[in-house]
Amino acid sequence: MANFVFWLIVGLTIGSAILVVQSKKLVYSAYALLFTLLGVTGLYVFLWADFLAVVQVVVYVGGILILIIFGIMLTNKITSVNISNTSVQKSIGSIVLLVFIAGLGFMVYKTPWVSVANSEPAQTTETIGRLLMIDYLLPFEVASLLLLGALIAATTLSRKDD
């Protein structure tokens, strides 16, 4: 059962990811990204990372994807843009792809993977909370300061007056 659902989700993720890259219309790419992101959510669920899965939906689907679609909607008419340059550099591209896949395969083969028992952890949120608020408190706070700085900078840049 788990295998069947897993391959279904993998198919959804990869299929929609190919659509994202291949689609001639920018809007279709953006909407195909929705299914890619939901597929990745499914993969997180298979790793027993329920909290991370939900965060994935909130942040990527609810935030980033909507901003991307917003940007496309505001800059684009419904008659899609003409892509004038359709060359994808097939020969050089395939060489780069092969080298990349070979490198990745070598890395996957050489890494000493640590295998853990495939069982449901009792509480994921509690562990994450402990790690964030006790073990990694300083990096956590620094990250929030960085985000606050980015927020203030964005507001300052987008204001026209004063």
Binding site for another protein (CB under 8 A): 1, 4-5, 27-28, 31, 34, 50-51, 54-55, 57-58, 61-63, 65-66, 69-70, 73, 78, 123-125
Smaller CB separation from another protein, 47 or 99: 47
| Rounded distance between C-alpha atoms, residue 110 and residue 106, angstroms | 6
Query: Least distance (Å) from another protein to the CB of residue 95?
Result: 35
Largest Cα separation within the chain, whole Å, is 61
Give min distance, CB of 53 to another protein, in A.
8
Shortest distance (Å) from residue 100 CB to another protein: 31
**Min. distance of Cβ 14 from another protein in angstroms?**
20
User: Which amino acid is it at 150?
Assistant: A
Indicate the residue among 92 and 122 with the shorter CB distance to another protein.
122
The answer to whether the beta carbons of residues 34 and 65 sit under 8 Å apart is yes
CA distances from 68 to 27, 56, 92, 105 (A): 9, 16, 30, 32
Task: Choose between 17 and 34: whose C-beta lies nearer to another protein.
Answer: 34
Q: Which stretch of DSSP H or E encloses residue 36?
A: helix 26-46
Are residues 23 and 32 in contact, defined by beta-carbon separation less than 8 angstroms? yes
Closest CB to another protein among residues 20, 55: 55
